[in-house]
Amino acid sequence: MRISFIVPPSLDGFKPAERSAGCTRLVYNMPNIYELIVAAQFEKLNHDVEYHDFVINNQSKKDLHSFLKQHQTDVYCIWSVNLAIETDRETVNIIRKYHTKKWILFLGPGPTYFPDRYLTDNYIVIARGEPEISASNLINAIEHKQPLNTVNGISYLDEDENIIRTPTEKLIEDLDTLPFPARRLANGVLYRNPKLKHSPYTSVVTSRNCPYHCIYCVPSSLTFAREIESKALNGTKPPVSSRSIKNIDTELALIAQQGYKSIAFVDDNFIWDSVRLQKIVDSLNKYGFHWGCQARADAITPEVAGILSGSKCDYIDIGVESFNNDILKFIRKGMTKDKIINAIKWLTKYNIPVKLNILIGASPLETKETIRDTVRTAKKMKVSQVMFNIVSPFPGTNFYELAKKSGWIRGGEYRPTDVQQESILDYPHLSGKEMERILFWSNFSFFMRPGIILRHLKQFRSFRDFYSALKSFKVKMFG
């Protein structure tokens, strides 16, 4: 069968949604490694797969119309997140203008949680949660004209327009059985990451899920889809699964052959222990990669910092949220201010660039002064990057239930918002508008310091990298 992946242009009047992490508008282009794995799975089963990214090619709604008017395929496939709901619903309308009975397959956390927003006709199907097996079985059922109710892990409309939800598909036990992402489908795209010193870069994922229980957390779009499905089934998060070191090394060798210079590991939590880390670092060094990852502060020890210093590690991305112990306890972060500060000091001692994620309004205990104190502390730490976001009550999180029950959500119900720009949350003592102003002030006061400007200017290897970073900063500040 012919399967066409589409990343449509923004059709809702806002900047395009970032579909890999899934909770912000696009700051810089990231390869969506999760849908490229699904694409590779389809290729493994001998299907003809295409990939059309209208965002990275700066194409418009008119271009989408022109494409669909003449394009032929058996299945259109779209990876969707909350911020893309309206764009993807409009994309369905455009597809239906030219192809009334072509199959449309949705993947990702948006359709997993909001099936009623996506299922508008009998030729649309959602592969919920972890999609590789259910999506592959669905394509097989379509190809051989088998009933949809024989496929686990999908949702669709029956003839009476009732939503049918088939039993949840089992999680993949051995991630090594999955093919490597079909990066060749994005050939010709030069992805640049402001945190990485060399381009082009690609994303790699070595594990799925995180065992911790932060109440607000929206992890990667794949993990969030897995969590939504697991919680709907049994009320718990799914277990963590990991690839073998041998399998990871084989992929790194292939990426090196393809000409990539840097890697952003997009695991929800990349550093588990020093033994596994050392083995992966050995592979990265073997192929000469610059790289970065996300890690919890309590995973950083002097031994771990030493291992990182023996590689071309361009950044460690740490979820701090706040430097206030009461807030950290409320949000179930599982660590203290001192642990976070010690981790930053160890990384700094070994010259590892640190990026902090700070979440404004993460708890009703937040005040203007707690936010100012967190920003002051971040400045004292001399880190190279900070991403300031405003907490959002994402459906599927414990924070959503708390915010809805407490009446903190403006208008009473969640609506998709860019956490780098807007708040729909109003605490009795701290409004969303106040948090938005604090967000802008935090970004401005951190990044416009002469020392930070000079430090960032020194890291660029080319004018193109500088221009890419400048565009990202503009989006961060002004949307």
Strand order of the β-sheet with 163-165 is 48-53, 2-7, 75-79, 103-107, 124-127, 154-157, 163-165
Sequence-ordered list of residues with C-beta below 8 angstroms from that of 207, at least 6 positions apart, any chain: 175, 240, 241, 242, 243, 267, 268, 269, 270, 272
- CA torsion 437→439→440→446, rounded to 10°? 140
Gap between the Cα atoms of 47 and 40, Å rounded: 10
Q: CB count, 10 Å around CB of 236?
A: 9
Cβ atoms of 200 and 461 within 8 Å: the answer is no
Gap between the Cα atoms of 79 and 34, Å rounded: 9
What's the pLDDT score for residue 403?
Answer: 96
| CATH architecture for residues 2-165 | 3-Layer(aba) Sandwich (3.40)
At 173, list the tokens: 């036990």
The residues of the chain that CATH labels 3.80.30.20 are: 188-478
What's the pLDDT score for residue 291?
Answer: 98
Cβ atoms of 51 and 39 within 8 Å: the answer is yes
pLDDT digit string (tens) for the chain, length 479 residues: 999 999 999 999 889 999 998 888 888 888 999 999 999 999 999 999 999 999 998 999 999 999 999 999 999 999 999 999 999 999 999 999 999 999 999 999 999 999 999 999 999 999 999 999 999 999 999 999 999 999 999 999 999 999 999 999 999 999 999 999 999 998 767 788 888 988 899 999 999 999 999 999 888 999 999 999 999 999 999 999 999 999 999 999 999 999 999 999 999 999 999 999 999 999 999 999 999 999 999 999 999 999 999 999 999 999 999 999 999 999 999 999 999 999 999 999 999 999 999 999 999 999 999 999 999 999 888 887 899 999 999 999 999 999 999 999 999 999 998 888 899 999 999 999 999 999 988 888 887 766 665 665 556 555 555 555 555 555 555 55
Per the confidence metrics, is the pTM higher than 0.85?
yes
Sequence-ordered list of residues with C-beta below 8 angstroms from that of 161, at least 6 positions apart, any chain: none
Pick the CATH number of 188-478 from 3.40.50.300, 2.60.40.2220, 3.80.30.20, 3.90.105.20: 3.80.30.20
43-78: buried (b, 16+ CB within 10 Å) or exposed (e) per residue?
beeebebebbbbbbeebebeebeebbeebebebbbb
Gap between the Cα atoms of 106 and 77, Å rounded: 6
What's the pLDDT score for residue 478?
Answer: 52
What's the pLDDT score for residue 377?
Answer: 94
What's the pLDDT score for residue 369?
Answer: 95
Which amino acid belongs to residue 473?
F
Q: Which long-range contacts (CB under 8 A, 24 or more apart) does 120-126 make?
A: 120/89, 120/92, 121/96, 121/157, 122/156, 122/157, 122/158, 122/159, 124/92, 124/156, 124/157, 125/154, 125/155, 125/156, 126/154, 126/155, 126/156
What's the pLDDT score for residue 22?
Answer: 83
What's the pLDDT score for residue 190?
Answer: 78
